Amino acid sequence: MKIIVSVKQVPDTSGKVAVNPDGTLDRASMQAIINPDDLNAVEAALKLKDETGCKVIVVTMGPPPAAGMLRELMARGADEGILVSAREFGGSDTYATSQILAAAISRIGVEKDDIVMCGRQAIDGDTAQVGPQIAEKLHLPQVTYAAEIQKTGDTITVKRMLEDGYMTIKVKTPCLLTCIKELNAPRYMSVGGIFEAYSKPLQTFDYETLKDDALIDPTTIGLKGSPTNILTSFTPPQKGAGLMLNEGDDKANCEKLAGILAKKHII
């Protein structure tokens, strides 16, 4: 049995997001981190590894520096890393991205006992589409928004969160699960783990490696294979500064504010 976890390196959007004068995102000003939901997916895989001794493979699509993130995940306990990287893959939307990742995952091979895991969504794109689209391309059943995962034999029982509660879903392996932060608290890297990480196998799948897969067609990958195009991107206008109330004391401020609200018929 093995678990393949699809992960993404993303800019850290928790601090100030910087925007270039031309309206594009200033990625250089932000630190690259492992997408938070993906860390929960890796942790879920490592927990199943602790219980069953299964193998955990982490796969990512991105530029060569993303290999550093794979080493970091191997230092936490993943057994192997696969970097999917080629110029031909650039400019992909979620559809094209999932085609490429599905091809990479099927090259690794999804057997009867295996599980594929993803994070619910990446904090840069916020689409939550790649997981389900990989599942569709690999013809696997999917359960998204997993907050609890239990494995009994070939059956996985998942607590799947809804806005107004949850569903309990049973699914047989192989399957694809997308994970949310409620699932677990990701472990840290260990010093021993960091040492070991550098002796673990890390492969790169480029265009040559994957080009014979039926999913890798120039018309379905990269910019050309993306069904969606960006018409324009722009920054919204900054709202003008509002009125700071400084009448002297809190009571006067509150009375002034309530007076304005009443005058404007807001209250």
Partner 1 sequence: MSFNNTDIAAFKDVWVFCEQRQGKLMPTDFELISEGRKLADELGVDLCGLLLGENVEGLAKELGGYGADKIYVCDHPLLKNYTTDGYTAAICQVIEELKPEVMLFGASNIGRDLGPRCAARLHTGLCADCTHLDVDMPIYKDFLREASTLAPEKIDGMNSAMVLGEKHDVSRDLKMTRPAFGGHLMASIICPRFRPAMATVRPGVMKKNVFDQAKADACQIVKPAFTLTEDDIQTEVVEIVKAAKKLVDLIGADFIVSVGRGISKDVEGGIKLAEELAAELGGVVGGSRATIDSGWLSADHQVGQTGKTVHPKVYVALGISGAIQHKAGMQDSECIIAVNKNDTAPIFEIADYGICGDLFKVTPLLTEAVRAAKAAK
Window 80 to 99, contacts with partner 1 (CB under 8 A): 93-95, 98
For position 239 contacting partner 1 by CB under 8 A, the verdict is yes
- What would the DSSP string read from start to end of 108-152? H---TT-EEEEES--TTT----HHHHHHHHTT--EEEEEEEEEEE
In sequence order, which residues have a C-beta less than 8 Å from that of residue 53 and are 6 or more positions away? none
Q: Which is nearer to partner 1, 214 or 254 (CB)?
A: 254
Asked if residue 106 binds partner 1 (CB under 8 A), the reply is no
Report if residue 237 touches partner 1, rule: CB under 8 A. yes
DSSP state of 19: B
189 interacts with partner 1 by CB under 8 A: no
State which residue, 89 or 145, has the beta carbon closest to partner 1.
145
Q: Which stretch binds partner 1 (CB under 8 A): 45-53, 65-73, 189-197, 250-258?
A: 250-258
When asked if residue 143 is in the footprint of partner 1 (CB under 8 A), the reply is: yes
For residues 160, 152, 187, 129, the Cα torsion angle rounded to the nearest 10 degrees is -40
Nearer to partner 1 (CB atom), residue 125 or residue 203:
125
Q: Is 149 in the site for partner 1 (CB under 8 A)?
A: no
Residue 194: CB minimum distance to partner 1, A: 28
Alpha carbons 100 and 205: distance in angstroms, whole number: 10
Q: Does residue number 161 form part of the binding site for partner 1 (CB under 8 A)? A: yes
Neighbours of 101 (CB within 10 A): 29
Closest separation between CB of residue 80 and partner 1, Å? 26
**Residue 25 DSSP one-character state:** B
214 binds partner 1 (CB under 8 A): no
Q: Does residue 129 interact with partner 1 by CB under 8 A?
A: yes
Distance of CA 70 to the CA centre of its chain: 14
Q: Is 199 in the site for partner 1 (CB under 8 A)?
A: no
Kindly tell me which of 22 and 212 has the beta carbon lying closer to partner 1.
22
The answer to whether 256 and 245 have CB atoms below 8 angstroms apart is yes
What is the SS3 assignment for 84? Answer: strand
